[in-house]
Amino acid sequence: MGKQKRQRKRPHKQGPSGLMSVKDFDKIEDSTSIDRIRALQNAYEDVQSHDSEIKLLALQILETMAWDVSMAENIAKDGIAKMVGPLLLDHNIMIQAAAISTLRQIADKGGAKAHASLMNDDIMTPVIALLKQHYSNWSFKSDYKYALNEKEIYIQSVALLWTLCESNDNAIKYVNDQNLVPLLTRYLNMNIYDIQIIVITMQCLITVVEDNADAVTVVRASEDVLYDIAIKMSTEDAKSNPEVWFLRTSSITLLSSICSWDDLCKPTYFNIFIKTLDEVLSIDSKQLLSSLVSIVPHEKTTSNEKRKKIAENKMLVNTQNLALETLANFCSDNDEDNGSTNSDDSKIMDMDSEAMDIDDEHLKSSLPIQFVEAVNHCNLLDKVWEKTVAVEADSKDILNQNEEGKDVLKQFYILRCRAYMCLNNLLPNFDIDALGGVDKFYSKWLEVLKIVVENINLYTGYTELLDAAACALRTITERLNCVQTDVFTRLNETDFPKIIGDEIQLQCINPNTRVNMMRIFGLLTLNMTRHMNAQNYTIAKNCSEVILNTCMTEPKAWVMAESIDALMDIFAEDDTDQLAVDVNLIQKLKILFPIFRNKVQQQKNKLRDRMAVVSTVKANIQRFIKYKEKQVKNLLLLKKRNTIRHT
């Protein structure tokens, strides 16, 4: 790192350093890739210069180049962590600030690929060293010349740490091993640090404590501090500041991550928890969007006041995203995810028993009654549903005109995703009547079905909305199916034509989503067989064939197991024997079984918590085939006898 920079012959530049300025770089942004590569290589060399001015300019250019996602990925891959990481400990505070700002920009824009490259090049060592050396006992002193620089370096460092911990478990391991959590909890003190410092610290800790018992133990010592923040941020005067809303929501999120159910249900915590969620989700997101649509397209010519308004509205949207995530996590029992079966995986299926259908016992609320009552009282379900509404096409066109607008669209996309995941976790805990009755709930089912179908057929490369909506759709289907309602008989064959075929396999990249879709088809088929007529029979046949055909091309053994399990649920009933004949069930299962068995053998080391459902299906499938084959033979024999009798 300390070697003398080699001398290079360059054309004369107006800049005294001889280095391309940021303005000069902007001019070649649209030029050839060769120019961009040359500029990048020059910046790599100059960032290692002994000249502070050259070094600073190189860092600025790298940060500017990293606005482009592909460039950010390439810069990270080229070993920028090794080049810039040591500068985090430079004696020049301006170099430190520029270095951490550049690294954060690369991580934010470069995404998962950049994160992996940074981690592979050991970026955690200099980041943690910076925090330990300069911030173990730091306090903000406004009269100090470089106080604002020190504050910004801390914020950027913790933001980078947060980003890496979000995407990489090894980053959290570093945090644990280096005992960094006690250092971070120091910065929750409102008497010493301002709101920006506390917010970024809290966001990082929310990520770090997830499934991290060691970190939870340390943060729990600050429980009273977090509660005080939530209370102080709840006053009417405080509500005028969007940062306060975000800090308040962050405090209850972190509290819910470190406290037990019993603690959270105590009146002191519970009241502030529900009040915060209610007030945050009551903010009109449509109005926020409308305001942003009117300002963002003109951001280059807007006043500072309007720029401030943009930032405030975006922060409020982020606050609602955090509130939805908090509510969803609060409702989750963490025992199983949406890709797992609802059947008892520990038991071998009794072929003479009723179908393994979902009943009310599986769907009884696991939440405290006071929470369910509070959600009903505050009408939180309807407020969550409101967040699932899509941005209208006209607004999309306007916001897509610049990067700021695209960022706004991304925020509202995330808002919809989190709303659907929140509904997925909330809905099983409420009676159908409390949800507005069967008819209203069915209308919601149709709404979500439309979103799922649209996202399967109009694939955009973003799967999060499809994944979240499919989770919610499965939950609603289960709720309607368990009350033995006949509302699904209102469907007709034209409701499904676009998702009958290969689209599910191609577009549902997330295997959990493929499982959810198979389970939805299975539940619909079960419902149709209870209310059989010609139209319902056709829908049941189509849905069964989708499951069978998807199984044939499914690459993951546990997804195949879930799909086969759905088929066994459907065809365990004797009155499905004719349907089994019409979809050629026995012959197809006989073809599927060796394929399934081979996939299990190949993937057994990767199955982990999926092994239960795989083992159950593997143990049951041959017995099921024999059982159903016997039933089908009896049916065909009976039909043959009836035919002879009538002739």
* 333-368: pLDDT as tens digits: 433 334 443 444 434 444 443 444 444 444 455 678
For tokens 């797992």, the residue is 340
Instruction: Check pLDDT > 70 for residue 96.
Output: yes
pLDDT for 506 equals 60
Token pair recorded at residue 355: 């179908």
Where residue 450 falls among pLDDT bands split at 50, 70, 90?
Answer: confident
pTM above 0.95, yes or no: no
Where residue 153 falls among pLDDT bands split at 50, 70, 90?
Answer: very high
pLDDT for 415 equals 96
pLDDT tens, residue by residue, 163-212: 999 999 999 999 999 999 999 999 999 888 989 999 999 999 999 999 99
Where residue 443 falls among pLDDT bands split at 50, 70, 90?
Answer: very high
At position 180, the amino acid (one-letter code) is L
Instruction: Check pLDDT > 50 for residue 15.
Output: no
Where residue 573 falls among pLDDT bands split at 50, 70, 90?
Answer: confident
Token pair recorded at residue 14: 């107006």
pLDDT for 520 equals 92
At position 447, the amino acid (one-letter code) is E
For tokens 């290079």, the residue is 8
Burial class (CB in 10 A: 0-12, 13-18, 19+), 51: middle
Angle at 462 between CA 495 and CA 417, to 5 degrees: 75
pLDDT for 154 equals 96
At position 112, the amino acid (one-letter code) is A
Quick one: average pLDDT of 107-133? Answer: 94
Q: How many CB atoms lie within 10 A of CB 243?
A: 19
User: Percent of the chain scored above 70 by pLDDT?
Assistant: 84
Q: Pick left, alpha or beta for residue 535 (phi over 0 → left; psi -120 to 50 → alpha; otherwise beta).
A: alpha
pLDDT tens, residue by residue, 481-512: 888 778 888 887 666 655 555 566 566 788 99
Quick one: average pLDDT of 585-609? Answer: 93
Q: What are phi and psi of 16, to 5 degrees?
A: -60, -25
In sequence order, the 6+-apart residues with CB closer than 8 A to the CB of 451 are 388, 390, 465, 469
Quick one: average pLDDT of 583-597? Answer: 94
pLDDT for 10 equals 38
Higher pLDDT, 25 or 509: 509
pLDDT tens, residue by residue, 231-286: 988 876 667 789 999 999 999 999 999 988 888 888 888 999 999 999 999 999 99
pLDDT for 458 equals 66
Where residue 593 falls among pLDDT bands split at 50, 70, 90?
Answer: very high
265 within 8 A of 368, measured Cβ to Cβ: yes
451 within 8 A of 358, measured Cβ to Cβ: no
Following DSSP, what letter does each residue of 346-360 receive, concatenated? Answer: TS---TTS------G
Higher pLDDT, 31 or 71: 71
For tokens 């191609």, the residue is 506
Burial class (CB in 10 A: 0-12, 13-18, 19+), 238: middle
pLDDT for 486 equals 84
pLDDT tens, residue by residue, 41-74: 888 999 988 999 999 999 999 999 998 889 999 9
pLDDT for 433 equals 83
User: Percent of the chain scored above 90 by pLDDT?
Assistant: 56
Q: What is the dihedral of CA 323, 326, 327, 333, to 10 degrees?
A: 170
Mean of the per-residue pLDDT values of the chain: 84
> Range with the lowest mean pLDDT among 81-90, 207-216, 412-421, 571-580?
571-580
pLDDT tens, residue by residue, 276-325: 999 999 999 999 999 999 988 765 656 778 888 888 999 999 999 999 99
Round to whole Å and give the CA distance between 69 and 106: 8
pLDDT for 33 equals 67
